[in-house]
Structure 1
């Protein structure tokens, strides 16, 4: 049985996959969450089949809401399970989804 953080990673990857352009090979999301968990700044990029990096906007505003919900839940999971290594909770992250390898990676930013 997958842990909740694994489920959240999978959901974040699925949301990004469904919102990315068809020719995307790698999807990048730079996310900055508010301390209050009520809003975020998202920058979307993708790398296409020719290796060219380009920004994009998801087709629906619901994408931002869904990602905010999942990322806030993930951050709360980190705090509740003492996964911050004694640091304050992370405030942002760079999400990389490699569609060829079907892998997701999150690089967290801490203050």
Structure 2
């Protein structure tokens, strides 16, 4: 179940990134009210140049909804060990080697919530 959610995030990001991307680094931070998210989307090309990209709003919405499902899974399965739930995560995808890594963050790491549209 949880792996399916992680893979869904990965698929959305890989389908949304530029064709020359070999690695994606994305930050997703969800408000305490679970009603908005802040993001950053970066990728690295095969020359290791870091660039920004912005997925279409449908992809951002799908990422947000999937992150809410992951958050619910953590809470429903008591994976917080009685601690507050994470505030967001950084997702790294190595496209060439088909690897994905989620690093959950417990403190805010993206500035103020701003309108992404």
Contact persistence 1:33–1:91 (CA under 8 A): yes
Q: Write the distance in 2 (CA, Å) between the matches of 1:98 and 1:85.
A: 30
Shift of 1:27: 0.7
Map 1:11-30; keep pairs closer than 5 Å.
11-30=8-27
Shift of 1:86: 2.7
Name the SS for the 1:87 alignment partner: coil
Aligned to 1:48: 45
Q: Which runs of 4+ in 1 moved over 6 A?
A: none
**Which one of the candidate residues 61, 67, 84 is aligned to 2:63?**
67
5+ residue gaps, structure 2: 108-117
Aligned to 2:78: 82
Q: Write the distance in 1 (CA, Å) between the matches of 2:2 and 2:8.
A: 10
- The normalised TM-score by structure 1 is 0.92
C-alpha RMSD of the superposition? 0.9
Q: How many residues align?
A: 107
Shift of 1:36: 1.6
**Which one of the candidate residues 3, 6, 30 is aligned to 1:6?**
3
Shift of 1:37: 1.4
Name the SS for the 1:38 alignment partner: coil
- The normalised TM-score by structure 2 is 0.88
5+ residue gaps, structure 1: none
